[in-house]
């Protein structure tokens, strides 16, 4: 619960803005007289709609279980694959559970797991990436080689291998996704870190006799913050797709917990009877991921495409 709340706040920051991120970093540098002017983020109308959709999903991730008309595991309807009606807004699923309620419950599982995984990926990736950039030498070479090997494999294959070996549970899912996506975060963090380490202001700090930790926390990290925050959105999309693909294969979140990916799988057979039960959760994933992508696109466009170049 607490974790989710924390992650939520951070999500909002990474999504709706970078002015905020800049504010907080400039707080630390009050002594600077001529701070660069605040950049105003301009969202296109498509971007604005996307922000609203993301906000709605975030609210649902928190409030879902409280506002849902039924419990996720309640087999409440008389029959399976009922069409939508007044009582069951989106119809019932293959066990006669309310699809609408399950989507509301599932928001917490899907978004929550993805969020924590992405945070884990960021923690590991940034720590190692900055360490490689700051230390250089052997540390850098070894970390980068291992990283290249991980990056040169399809993520879903890695996921399948790990789950075949360890079985599937929520902590393992989070660790798997976190480790796999840490590789790409590492690459970005290292590239950004290397750029900053050779900048004049770092040289100045060194000449002043500042320690390594001071340089990392006061110079390197604040300067990486903005591009990394934007990239967080992209990474989150990949993680949502990864986790729901695994769930879809029946290897992710296990029943009776609801999760958008496994809901699609469970109700796939209903398509044949003309039931939309498999479409709704798929649509939920689609609206979330498309919206995040649109917002990230807008942000990188307003940053003059410079970010996009670094993120590839």
Partner 1 sequence: MKTMVLQRFGIGLITLLVVSVLVFAGTEILPGDVAEIVLGQSATPENLAKLRSELGLDKPAYIRYFEWLGDMITFDLGISKAGGASIGDLIGGRLYNTFFMGGIVAVIAVPLSIFLGLLAAMYPGSWIDRVVTFATLGLISVPEFFIATVCVLVLSVQLHWLPAVAYMSGDESFLQLMRALLLPILTLVIVISAQMIRMTRAGILNVLHSPYIEMAILKGVPRKRIILRHALFNAIGPIVNVIALNLAYLVSGVVIIETIFAYPGLAKLMVDGVQTRDLPLVQACAMIFCGTYVVLILTADIASILSNPRLRQPK
Applying CB under 8 A, the residues found at the interface with partner 1 are 145-146, 148-149, 152-158, 160-167, 237, 241, 244-245, 248-251, 261, 264-265, 268, 271-272, 274, 276, 278-279, 282-283, 285-286, 289-290, 292-294, 297
Is residue 285 classed as helix, strand or coil in its secondary structure? helix
- Please choose, from the candidates 185, 179, 220, 176, the residue with its C-alpha nearest in 3D space to the C-alpha of residue 201: 220
- Give the nearer residue to partner 1 in terms of CB position, either 96 or 250: 250
DSSP assigned state of 268: G
- Give the nearer residue to partner 1 in terms of CB position, either 155 or 223: 155
Q: Report in angstroms how near the CB of residue 31 gets to partner 1 at its nearest.
A: 41
- Please choose, from the candidates 171, 189, 183, 168, the residue with its C-alpha nearest in 3D space to the C-alpha of residue 121: 183
Is residue 92 classed as helix, strand or coil in its secondary structure? strand
Q: Report in angstroms how near the CB of residue 181 gets to partner 1 at its nearest.
A: 14
Q: Report in angstroms how near the CB of residue 56 gets to partner 1 at its nearest.
A: 17
Q: Report in angstroms how near the CB of residue 277 gets to partner 1 at its nearest.
A: 10
- Give the nearer residue to partner 1 in terms of CB position, either 143 or 202: 143
Q: Report in angstroms how near the CB of residue 218 gets to partner 1 at its nearest.
A: 34
Do 110 and 283 contact (CB within 8 A), yes or no? Answer: no
- Give the nearer residue to partner 1 in terms of CB position, either 100 or 248: 248
- Please choose, from the candidates 82, 121, 73, the residue with its C-alpha nearest in 3D space to the C-alpha of residue 254: 73
Q: How many CB atoms lie within 10 A of CB 259?
A: 31
- Give the nearer residue to partner 1 in terms of CB position, either 196 or 308: 308
Query: Which tokens hold the place of 53?
Result: 């959709």
Query: Which tokens hold the place of 40?
Result: 């105003």
């Amino acid at each position: 619960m607490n974790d989710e709340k924390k992650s939520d706040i951070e999500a909002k920051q990474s999504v709706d803005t970078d002015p905020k991120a800049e504010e907080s970093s400039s707080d630390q540098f009050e002594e600077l007289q001529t701070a660069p002017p605040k950049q105003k983020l301009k969202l296109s109308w498509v971007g604005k709609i996307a922000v609203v959709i993301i906000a709605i999903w975030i609210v649902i991730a928190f409030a879902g279980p409280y506002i849902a008309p039924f419990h996720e595991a309640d087999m409440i309807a008389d029959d399976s694959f009922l069409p939508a009606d007044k009582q069951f807004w989106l119809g019932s699923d293959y066990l006669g559970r309310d699809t609408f309620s399950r989507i509301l419950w599932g928001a917490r599982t899907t978004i929550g797991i993805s969020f924590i995984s992405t945070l884990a990926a960021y923690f590991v990736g940034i720590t190692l990436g900055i360490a490689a950039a700051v230390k250089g030498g052997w540390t850098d070479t070894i970390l980068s080689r291992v990283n290249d090997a991980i990056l040169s494999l399809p993520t879903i294959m890695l996921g399948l291998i790990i789950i075949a070996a360890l079985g599937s549970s929520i902590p393992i899912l989070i660790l798997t996704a976190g480790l796999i996506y840490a590789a790409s975060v590492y690459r970005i963090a290292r590239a950004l870190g290397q750029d900053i380490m050779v900048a004049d202001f770092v040289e100045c700090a060194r000449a002043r006799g500042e320690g390594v930790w001071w340089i990392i926390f006061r110079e390197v990290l604040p300067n990486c913050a903005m591009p990394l925050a934007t990239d967080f959105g992209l990474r989150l999309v990949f993680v949502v797709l990864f986790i729901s693909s695994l769930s879809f294969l029946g290897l992710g979140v296990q029943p009776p917990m609801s999760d958008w990916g496994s809901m699609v799988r469970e109700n796939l057979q209903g398509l044949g009877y003309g039931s939309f039960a498999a479409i709704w959760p798929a649509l939920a994933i689609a609206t979330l991921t498309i919206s995040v992508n649109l917002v990230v696109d807008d942000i990188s466009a307003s940053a003059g495409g410079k970010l996009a170049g670094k993120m590839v």
